[in-house]
Every structure is written in structure tokens, then in C-alpha cells.
């Protein structure tokens, strides 16, 4: 899906500029390693009206124009919320890692998960970590992601509870060596108190051992009719 593609300009933690135009943006869902827990979560969501995924893990392709580095995003309704996610980027035959927010419309989510994923912009940090030609160069299980909603801790955990990025790439079908420019949102953490919040101010953080933390903030405004 390549609607309204725009070039992204990012910078590695060492200061090198990276510019590329995404050709694929994939939001992965249900990426937990504990399959029984994932199945239970699917049942919980189904009980409140969220459709069951066609596969586990699930992969939702969205328009490349949804990804943004803007510090303010505009949404259509009041019931949207952020989700911190590791974001893997593949461009010019190299892999990069950063942090992003799978900001989602929770009302639409009860009708169609693909539509809910596509409805909101997906902010990402402008700083990226260069992983070279192998995304497994970092210790995936030791990475920590966190998010805050209006200053309150909203999510926090290590990626040890989630499927490794290499497995996600293999399951989705990404082939090394091709000319695509991929952005893959790798899944999210449980909420600290289990309750969605529809707040204005969001903060996302990625901590990778051996690297400076990557963090960004963004605000949400509701589009006036």
C-alpha cells in the first residue's frame, strides 16, 4: 500500500543522515511469545467486540503516508490512543531500529482492525540505531520499551515477551536483498492498568543496551468537523 508516499529523513545515533521513501509499512499484531496468553487476549477482545485476527501473528499493511515524524498528529475522533512499539526499518540494504507509536482508533477497532490501524498517523522517532545487514545484531530480549500518557506511565516491559524481529520478518515473508524500503511496527506491551487512555500528550521510549535511549513525544488534536 503506497498512498501519498513521502520521504522520511532520519538520523542515526552516530549522527549520519538517512533518507528513504517507504514502499511497505506493516503493523504487526498479536506478537506475544506465549501463544496461550495471546489466544486468551484474542478471546478478551472478541468479548468486547474486537474482530478476531485472520492469523497470529497478524500483519496489517497501511499507507506509507501514515508514518510521520511530526510532533503533533490529527485524528478524527476522541477515542484514540497510543501504543509504544519497536520499529524496524529496512532501507538501502541496511536495517535500523527506532521507536514509534501505533496510534489507533479504538472505536473503529471494534468494527475493523485494519481500518483502525490505517485511521491514525503513526509517529516515529527521528533517531535510529544502525543494525547493519543483520537485525539480530542486538540482544532483542534485553530491549525495554515504555510509554507515558499525559505524564503517567502507561506501558513498560522488555521485548523478551514478544516474538523476535527475525521471526516476524520470516513469517511476514520479507526477503533480504530486494529493493523495498520497509517499516515494520513490531508489536506492543500490555497496559500498566489494563485500561485504554485517550489523552493528548504521549511519550515513547526505547532502551537498547549499549546505546543511548531513544525517546520522542507527540500531541494529539481532534479534527474539527
Name the more confident of 114 and 165. Answer: 114
pLDDT at 179: 61
In a domain, 198, yes or no: yes
In a domain, 187, yes or no: yes
Q: Cell digits for 32?
A: 506475544
CA dist 204 and 139 (Å) reads 20
Question: Which residue stretches of the chain are H helix?
Answer: 35-47, 106-109, 113-119, 165-172
Characterize the bridge pairing of strands 182-185 and 84-91: antiparallel
If pLDDT is split at 50, 70 and 90, which confidence band does 141 have? very high
DSSP 51: P
Decide if pLDDT at 3 tops 70: no
Name residue, grid cell 539480530.
136
Decide if pLDDT at 103 tops 90: yes
In a domain, 45, yes or no: yes
If pLDDT is split at 50, 70 and 90, which confidence band does 43 have? confident
Q: What CATH number does the domain containing 81 carry? A: 3.90.850.10
If pLDDT is split at 50, 70 and 90, which confidence band does 39 have? confident
In a domain, 183, yes or no: yes
pLDDT at 1: 38
In a domain, 60, yes or no: yes
> Which of the residue ranges 18-27, 65-74, 176-185 would you say has the lowest mean pLDDT?
176-185
DSSP 155: E
Looking at the chain, the whole-number percentage of residues with pLDDT higher than 90 is 69
Q: Cell digits for 68?
A: 510521520
Angle at 49 between CA 195 and CA 222, to 5 degrees: 60
Decide if pLDDT at 175 tops 70: no
Burial class (CB in 10 A: 0-12, 13-18, 19+), 186: buried
| Contact yes or no for 67/122 (Cβ under 8 A) | yes
What range defines the domain where residue 208 resides?
8-222
If pLDDT is split at 50, 70 and 90, which confidence band does 151 have? very high
| Number of structural domains the chain divides into | 1
Average pLDDT, stretch 168-175?
A: 78
- Give the number of other Cβ atoms within 10 Å of residue 216's Cβ: 20
In a domain, 1, yes or no: no
**Alpha-carbon distance values, 31 to 28, 42, 196, 201 (Å):** 7, 12, 19, 26
In a domain, 120, yes or no: yes
Tell me the pLDDT of the chain averaged across its residues: 90
In a domain, 105, yes or no: yes
Amino acid at each position: 500500500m503506497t498512498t501519498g508516499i513521502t520521504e522520511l529523513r532520519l538520523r542515526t545515533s552516530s549522527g549520519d543522515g538517512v533518507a528513504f521513501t517507504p514502499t511497505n509499512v506493516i503493523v504487526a499484531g498479536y506478537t506475544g511469545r506465549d501463544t496461550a496468553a495471546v489466544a486468551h487476549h484474542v478471546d478478551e477482545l472478541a468479548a468486547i467486540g474486537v474482530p478476531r485476527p485472520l492469523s497470529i501473528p497478524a500483519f496489517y499493511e497501511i499507507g506509507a503516508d501514515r508514518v510521520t515524524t511530526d510532533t503533533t498528529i490529527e485524528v478524527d475522533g476522541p477515542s484514540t490512543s497510543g501504543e509504544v512499539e519497536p520499529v524496524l526499518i529496512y532501507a538501502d540494504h541496511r536495517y535500523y531500529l527506532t521507536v514509534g507509536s501505533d496510534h489507533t482508533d479504538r472505536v473503529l477497532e471494534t468494527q475493523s482492525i485494519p481500518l483502525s490501524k490505517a485511521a491514525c498517523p503513526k509517529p516515529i522517532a527521528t533517531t535510529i540505531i544502525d543494525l547493519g545487514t543483520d537485525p539480530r545484531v542486538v540482544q532483542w530480549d534485553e530491549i525495554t520499551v515504555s510509554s507515558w500518557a499525559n505524564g503517567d506511565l502507561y506501558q513498560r516491559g522488555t521485548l523478551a515477551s514478544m516474538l523476535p524481529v527475525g521471526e516476524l520478518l520470516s513469517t511476514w515473508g520479507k526477503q533480504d536483498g530486494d529493493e523495498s524500503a520497509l517499516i515494520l511496527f513490531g508489536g506492543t506491551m500490555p497496559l500498566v492498568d489494563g485500561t485504554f487512555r485517550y489523552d493528548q500528550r504521549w511519550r515513547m521510549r526505547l532502551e537498547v543496551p549499549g546505546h543511548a535511549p531513544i525517546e520522542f513525544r507527540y500531541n494529539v488534536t481532534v479534527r474539527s468537523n
